[in-house]
Chain A
């Protein structure tokens, strides 16, 4: 037997749409976007865009083209309107040498990923199983990989916690978050929200392109990763299996 409840089309429509609500996380994200002061907008828009980039359907991509063009023009402008005290200079004048450009790119990547790492935004997929997390990323042009190098960067035990979409230098990326524990027995339950006492490591992966990211060390060729610091956090950058990998670790876990 099927329950039927007859009502007018108008009332049914009102009821139907009233039930549609933005998820709390999305509401929070939009409120965050709206709270940005106009003067900060250009600075924070890429970050806010990246935090919202969990779905990369064609409509979103097309809708973002205009904004991306504006942002791109800002990033490429010789006189940047960014907060110069914090933001590494991205534009390269004709006088900038290749090593300087690489330094700038490394600083920019480190600046971007540490900002994301500190915010610890909610995971879109939570699992201790890497394959489960990897299978979540269906909208990427690459497949996230287990890094052979990443575990060697830390003396702590890394437990997969989950992942979310993000971006590095406007390239779509996977953010893989690991719980970092000193002892295996100290590992807590796999919950979605980080505890303030826990330490986290984040591994970012995106498709590597020399044109986009410049020359970076390839692990397979025996080159050592670039190690740098940003916001007090340790950042390692390398290329592995043609993926740009960037790790960020809480200083206390090092």
Chain B
């Protein structure tokens, strides 16, 4: 069965998808309800529940016509040097701003990469997506983060209501 740490971990994953605490809770609740009748058959519950949460969230985005998982085209740049992402520094206070700038797919890879410390290949395997897609999202994540970090003096303006 799942303990509090695991539940909080799943909640954080839901938060990475939704960027909203209430929606993350609801997503977790719905996923648990779907997982419970099949729990005897799932050997690794956490990836399984995350998959349910992801599918539910994608369904919601589709129904609400929210494009949070836009297709990655061939000409989309990919992250060629993971070290540059590892070494990227920001002001800790900026992270919420960065998270707000990301879409679901980008927040999701941020969660896998930073919190679960998965490699791009591991993320791709977990999400059942091409590694190139994951690298593209990591690239965008890096670019958005870098852009915000460079515009740090404007953070106070952003907090002043222009968001």
Is A195 engaged at the interface, CB distance under 8 Å to the other chain?
Answer: no
Partner of A20, one of B11, B26, B37: B11
Q: Please tell me if the beta carbons of B110 and A49 are within 8 angstroms of each other in the complex.
A: no
Minimum distance in angstroms from B32 CB to a CB of chain A: 6
* Contact status B32-A5, CB under 8 Å: no
A-B CB pair tally, cutoff 8 Å: 140
B26/A6 in contact, CB under 8 A:
no
Contact between B93 and A3 (Cβ–Cβ < 8 Å)?
Answer: yes
Which partner residue on chain B sits nearest A70 by CB separation? B37
Across-interface contacts of A2 in B (CB, < 8 A)? 93, 156
User: What chain A residues lie within 8 Å of B85 (beta carbons)?
Assistant: 9-10
A contact face: mostly helix, strand, loop, or mixed: helix
B122: Cβ under 8 A from any A Cβ: no
Q: Is B42's CB within 8 Å of the partner chain A?
A: no
The reply to whether A9 and B60 contact each other, CB–CB distance below 8 Å, is no
CB pair B23–A13 under 8 Å, yes or no, is: no
Q: Is A77 an interface residue (CB 8 A)?
A: no
Q: Which of B2, B31, B114, B152 contacts A13 (CB 8 A)?
A: B114
Whether A22 touches B59, Cβ cut-off 8 Å, given contacts A3-B93, A66-B34, is no
Question: What mask results when residues 90 to 131 of chain B are scored 1 for a CB within 8 Å of chain A, else 0?
Answer: 111111101100000000001101110000000000000000
- The residue that A67 contacts in the complex, of B18, B30, B156, with Cβ under 8 A, is B30
Tier of interface size on chain A: 35 or more
Residues from chain B with a CB closer than 8 A to the CB of A31 are 4, 7
Task: Please report which residues of chain B, range 13-54, place their CB below 8 angstroms from some CB of chain A when the two chains form the complex.
Answer: 15-16, 18, 21-23, 25-34, 36-37, 39-40
Distance in angstroms from A146 CB to nearest chain B CB is 28
B residues lining the A interface (CB < 8 Å): 1-2, 4, 7-8, 11-12, 15-16, 18, 21-23, 25-34, 36-37, 39-40, 56-57, 59-60, 63-64, 85-96, 98-99, 110-111, 113-115, 142, 145, 152, 156
A interface list, Cβ under 8 A from B: 2-10, 12-17, 20-22, 26-27, 30-31, 33-36, 38, 41, 45, 48-49, 52, 55, 57-60, 62-64, 66-67
**28 CB < 8 A contacts A-B:** A3-B93, A5-B93, A7-B92, A8-B86, A9-B89, A9-B90, A9-B114, A13-B114, A14-B115, A17-B12, A17-B114, A21-B11, A27-B4, A27-B7, A27-B8, A34-B2, A34-B32, A38-B36, A41-B36, A49-B29, A57-B26, A58-B64, A59-B23, A60-B26, A62-B59, A63-B27, A63-B31, A67-B33
